[in-house]
Amino acid sequence: MDDNRRNNSSQMAELLQPEILHKGNECTSLVACSPSSSEPPSSSASSSSKPPYSSEPSSSRPPYSSEPHSSSEPHSSSAPSSSKPHSSSEPYSSKPPYSSETPSSSAHHSSSSAPSGNGERDVRSRRVEGDEAGRTQREDGASSCCPLNDLKRLPQCDKRLGPLKFSPTHTILIDVAAFNNGKGPLPQRGRDMWHSNFVKSPCSPSSFMIKTGLMKSPTQTWRWDVISKQLSALAKKTAASVDDVKDAIIKYNPKYKSQWSFDALSSFVKVIPKEENNFSKLFSKIAALALKLPELLQKGIPLLRTGHPASITLSQAQISCLLANAFFCTFPHRNATHHSAEYHNYPSINFTSLFGQWSQRKKEKLRAIMYYFQVVTDENTKPKGLVTFERRCLQERDQTASEWRNCQEKPPKLHVTTRGTIETEGTGLLQVDFACSSIGGGVLGSGLVQEEILFLMNPELIVSRLFTEKLADNECLIVTGCQQFSLYSGYGETFEWAGPYEDRLDRDEWARLKRQILAIDAVNYKHRREQYNMHRVMRELNKAYCGFKDHGHNEPDIATGKWGCGAFNGDPQLKAVIQLMAAARAKRGLAFFTFDDDKLKQGLQQTHHLLVTQGTTVAKLFGLLEDYCAVQQASSGSHVELFEFIGNAVRPSRSQL
C-alpha cells in the first residue's frame, strides 16, 4: 500500500474495514477461530517435572494465625490467581512470621504431596487444562506457542562474567580485590561526595542542620551527630514504641513536626496480635542497622542520571542499611517535592508517606516491610550477596521508524498463560516491572498494583529510588540479584501479605541471585483513544525494545503481561503486539501472563500462530500498526480490535486456498 493511501485516514477507514478487506470474500474474526492452547500440564502436578531453578516458599500457615496449621496443608488458593503464589509453592512453616526463627529448608516438602481442599481443586483443574491443551494441539495443530519450560532462563544461560571489576560506567561499593579473593563483600574505602551527581548521605561531613532551642539561638550542627544520638538511644532500648520512633525522626526533621503523621505505623502495631508482635524489639534492631551507615558505605553513591547509562553494585548488607536509614527518614534534601527542589526528578526514599494515613493497604505493606527487616537484622539470616542496578539508554539510531520498517525478524518463541504470576512462574526469566517513570511508583504511599507489589515482595528494589532519576522515553532500569522475601495474594484492595518466602535461586559469579527485573514505564493515557497514534506506538515500541535488547549474548527470555493496561488505560492487544515486536527484534522469547484474561490468551495464541505460519516480519507488522492507527483515528466511536484487524489483513483469502 502506498504512503499516500496509508496517511489518508478517511480512505483507510473505507478501504480497511474488516468486511471488505478481501474484496468481498467471506472472512471470520480471528478471535472466533477454534481455540488452541500450548500450555503444558502444570509443573505442580509432579515434583519430577519441576525445573531445578524454581524457588520454593517456606511457610505453611496463614500469617498472624494463633493456631499452627498442619505441615501438609497448602497455602490457600482462594486468592485471585492473578496474584496468588503458584500451586507448586511449598507449604509454609508454622513459625510466627515475626519470630526470631526463620524458615529452614526442612520446612519444604515434595510438591507431589497430596494437596487438600481448594489447593487440590486448583492442581486438578490445572492438570485438566494442561491435558485439554495437549489434545487440542495434537488434534488441530493450530498452536505455534511453546511450553513455559522451553524458554531460556538465567540458570541455563551459563554466561561467564569473569572477575568483578570497576569500569568507567560501573561503580562498585564493595572491596573488589577482597571479594575476588574470596573474602566476601567488604565495604570499599573511598570518600564522601557532597555533590549534585551523588547521593547526599546523612553521615556526610558536609551535612548540617540548624538546631534551635527555647533558651538558645539557632546553631549549625553536624546532622549525623543528631541522628546517631537519637538512633543510639533507640537501639539500646529493650522495647521501643512508635512514639519513640516518631520522636527520634522529628528531632532531625524538625520542620516537618506538624506535617508528618505516624498514625498508620501506630495503628499497624496495635492491630497485630501481641503473641506475634515483636516490633518493639525490631524497631531497636532497625535503628542499630541504620547506625552502621558510616561503616558499610564509605564511598559516595553516584546517581543514575537521565541520559547516562551506568551501573551500581552494592552488597545486600549495604542495601539493608540504606533502607534502615530510609525507614528512619535520615536522608537529607529528599523530603521536598516541589519543582524547584533539588531532587524533584527523583522518587521519594524516606518512609514518611508510608507511616501516615492508615488504611488496610498500609497495614499489608508494613507487614511485608517489617518481615524484610526481621530477616536482615538477624545475624543468622541476613543475606550476603550482591545486587546490580543498571540504567540503560537506547541509542538514537535504534529509535527511528526506518529501523522498525526494515526489521525482517519473525515472531519470537511465545508462551501464553492465564495461570500463575510473573513472580512465581517467571523466575529465571527477565521479569518485566510495569513501572512508573519514577521507579517504584506508589510503593511508599497507597499504590498497590503490579510494580508496588513487586517492590514489596523484593524490598531491595526500593533502594533504587535513592539514586535513580526518572526514566526518559528511551531508558530502562535492570536490577540483577535482588531477593524475594515474601509471598502475597490479591491485588489492589484485596492485596494481602501471605507469609515468608525462602529464595533458593543459585547465585552467579558475582554472588548475585539469578533473578533479573526490568523496569519499563508505559504511557499513561487519560483517554484510551490517545494510544492509537503512531507517535505513541513508536514510544512504546522503543521503550520495550530498550529493555528487551540483548546487551551481550546468551540472555534469558522475557516474562511479561498486560503492561500499562490497568490504571494507564493501555489496550491489552496493542501492548501484546508491541511487546511481541520488541522481543522479535531483540531475538528473545516471551512468556506472556494474561492474569486470568482468557480472551486475550486465546487471541494472542491465534494471532501468533497466524503470524508464524504466514512468515510475518516485524516490518510487516509495523505497517499494519500504521494502517490500524489510521482506521482508529478515522472511526467515530467504533472500535476495531487489533487481533481481528491483523487476522483479516494477514490471513489468506479463501480464493487463494
For the annotated catalytic residues, the residue numbers are 433, 451-452
- Measured between alpha carbons, how far is 21 from 27 in angstroms, rounded to an integer? 9
Cell of 477: 532500569
Contact between 505 and 515 (Cβ < 8 Å):
yes
For 434, phi then psi, to 5°, come to -75, 80
- How many helices (H) and strands (E) are present in the chain, helices listed first? 22, 13
Helix (H, G, I), strand (E, B) or coil at 100: coil
CB atoms inside a 10 Å sphere around CB 261: 15
**Of the candidates 424, 534, 567, 557, the residue with the CA atom closest to the CA atom of residue 43:** 424
- Asked if residue 236 lies in contact with residue 253, where contact means CB atoms within 8 angstroms, the answer is no
Q: What angle do CA 173, 174, 178 make, to 5 degrees?
A: 155
Cα(198)–Cα(173) distance, integer angstroms: 13
Q: CA–CA separation, 152 vs 141, rounded Å?
A: 24
Map residue 58 onto helix, strand or coil. Answer: coil
Task: Give which of 283, 287, 285 is closest to 231, Cα–Cα.
Answer: 287
Task: List phi, psi (to 5°) of 430.
Answer: -75, 105
Contact 336, 502 (CB under 8 A): no
Closest by CA position to 263, among listed 179, 378, 357: 357
Q: How many residues does the chain have?
A: 657
> How is 148-170 classified by DSSP, letter by letter?
GGGS--HHHH-----S---BTTE
Nearest Cα residue to 433 out of 401, 406, 462: 462
Start-to-end Cα distance in the chain: 23
Asked if 75 contacts 90 with a C-beta cutoff of 8 angstroms, the reply is no
Sign of CA dihedral 337, 339, 343, 346: positive
- Best CA proximity match to 524, nearest among 441, 640, 628, 624: 441
User: Residue type for 617, please?
Assistant: T
- Amino acid, single-letter form, for residue 628: Y
Contacts of residue 164, Cβ cutoff 8 Å, sequence gap at least 6:
172, 176, 179, 180, 313, 386, 509, 510
The angle formed by the CA atoms of residues 255, 259 and 260, to the nearest 5 degrees, is 100
Rounded to an integer, what distance in angstroms lies between the CA atom of residue 268 and that of residue 357?
11
Single-letter code of the amino acid located at 431: Q
- Tell which residue, 613, 617, 623, 619, has the closest CA to residue 651: 613
Cα–Cα distances (Å) from 549 to 430, 445, 584, 593, 610, in that order, read 11, 32, 10, 20, 25
Report residue 479 as a C-alpha cell: 536490577
Tell me the C-alpha distance between 619 and 156, whole Å.
31
Strand, coil or helix: 560:
strand
